């Protein structure tokens, strides 16, 4: 037992304590003001979202922790986290949240904010460029497969020109090319 006046030793912890001066108190309101953020404050940190997430075991920051960090205002760390981009958008977390927190949609909002601030991982930019240049992310059937099957090289009637044109004129198109 600690005697009166004796200095109490701090317990060992596995994570760094939060530096309160670095919190952005407006972050919670910023997310709440978006169409998906209304129920954010209802989160009671039950971590059901993390239990439901098929890939949370490989995330350093788990879904329920991201939600808690948003509520606390740890803005920079959330928006620069790789986890918001790793989300599969399977909606398992959102479906199961007992408090109606739109977890997946909130991660979408975070990605949009991160993008606005130029914090897009290089791999995502590369995917975006590929999509805009080719109009599709996956080749319907590879050339060598078509050749093996005695098919003509291109899929008849498949044109991605319209998709490329539309995507190229969107904000996504400008962002992946380094514009605004
Ligand atoms: S399931 Fe919902 S209430 Fe529970 S921690 Fe996740 S967001 Fe919060
Ligand atoms: S939507 Fe994202 S965070 Fe939610 S369960 Fe699926 S992968 Fe996990």
pLDDT band for position 83 (50/70/90)? very high
Query: What is the pLDDT, as a whole number, of residue 39?
Result: 94
Full-model pTM = 0.80
What proportion of the chain, given as a percentage, has pLDDT over 70?
91
SS3 of residue 68 by DSSP: helix
Query: Which one of the ligands is nearest to 84 CA?
Result: 2
Identify whether residues 91 and 67 lie together within a single domain.
Answer: yes
Name the DSSP letter for residue 72. H
Decide which of 81, 116, 151 is a domain's last residue.
116
Question: With a 6 A CB cut-off, is 131 part of the ligand 2 pocket?
Answer: no
Per-residue pLDDT for 10 more than 70?
no
Query: What is the pLDDT, as a whole number, of residue 179?
Result: 63
pLDDT band for position 11 (50/70/90)? low
Give residue 57's region: left, alpha or beta (phi > 0; psi -120 to 50).
alpha
Question: With a 6 A CB cut-off, is 89 part of the ligand 2 pocket?
Answer: yes
CA of 40 to the centre of ligand 1 (A): 9
CA of 62 to the centre of ligand 2 (A): 10
Q: Which atom of ligand 1 is nearest to the CA of 48?
A: 1
Structural domain span for residue 78: 20-116
pLDDT band for position 76 (50/70/90)? very high
User: Rounded to whole angstroms, how far apart are CA atoms 123 and 130?
Assistant: 11
Residue nearest to atom 4 of ligand 2 (CA): 93
Query: What is the pLDDT, as a whole number, of residue 17?
Result: 77
Name the DSSP letter for residue 12. P
Average pLDDT, the chain: 88
Query: Which one of the ligands is nearest to 37 CA?
Result: 1
Identify whether residues 165 and 102 lie together within a single domain.
Answer: no
CA of 116 to the centre of ligand 2 (A): 22
Higher pLDDT, 150 or 67: 67
Higher pLDDT, 160 or 42: 42
Which positions ≥6 away from 46 have C-beta within 8 Å? 64, 98, 99
Query: What is the pLDDT, as a whole number, of residue 73?
Result: 96
User: Which among 97, 100, 104 is the best mutation to test ligand 1's pocket, defined by most ligand atoms within 8 Å of the CB?
Assistant: 97
Decide which of 85, 116, 147 is a domain's last residue.
116
Residue nearest to atom 8 of ligand 2 (CA): 53
Question: With a 6 A CB cut-off, is 48 part of the ligand 2 pocket?
Answer: no
The DSSP string of 111-172 is HHHHHHTT---HHHHHHHHHHHHHS-SS-SS-HHHHHHTT--SS-TT---HHHHHHHHTSHH
The DSSP string of 21-54 is GG--THHHHHHHTSTT-TTGGG-----HHHHH-T
Q: Is residue 12 part of a domain?
A: no
Instruction: Give the number of C-alpha atoms closer than 13 A to the C-alpha of residue 179, restricted to the C-beta side.
Output: 9
Identify whether residues 131 and 92 lie together within a single domain.
Answer: no
Identify whether residues 25 and 110 lie together within a single domain.
Answer: yes
Question: Using one digit for the tens of pLDDT, what is the confidence trace for 31-47?
Answer: 999 999 999 999 999 99
Across 16-20, 39-43, 115-119, which has the greatest mean pLDDT? 39-43
């Amino acid at each position: 037992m600690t005697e009166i006046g004796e200095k109490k030793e701090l317990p060992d912890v596995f994570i760094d304590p939060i530096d309160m001066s670095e919190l952005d108190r407006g972050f919670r309101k910023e997310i709440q003001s978006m169409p998906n953020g209304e129920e954010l404050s209802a989160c009671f940190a039950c971590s059901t979202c993390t239990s439901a997430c098929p890939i949370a075991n490989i995330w350093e920051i788990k879904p329920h922790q991201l939600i808690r960090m948003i509520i606390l205002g740890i803005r920079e760390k959330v928006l620069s986290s790789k986890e918001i981009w790793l989300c599969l958008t399977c909606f398992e977390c959102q479906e199961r949240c007992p408090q109606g927190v739109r977890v997946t949609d909130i991660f979408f909002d975070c990605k949009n904010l991160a993008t606005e601030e130029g914090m897009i991982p290089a791999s995502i930019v590369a995917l975006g460029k590929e999509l805009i240049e080719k109009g599709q992310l996956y080749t319907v059937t590879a050339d060598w497969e078509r050749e093996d099957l005695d098919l003509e090289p291109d899929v008849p009637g498949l044109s991605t020109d319209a998709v490329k044109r539309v995507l190229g004129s969107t904000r996504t198109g400008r962002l992946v090319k380094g514009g605004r």
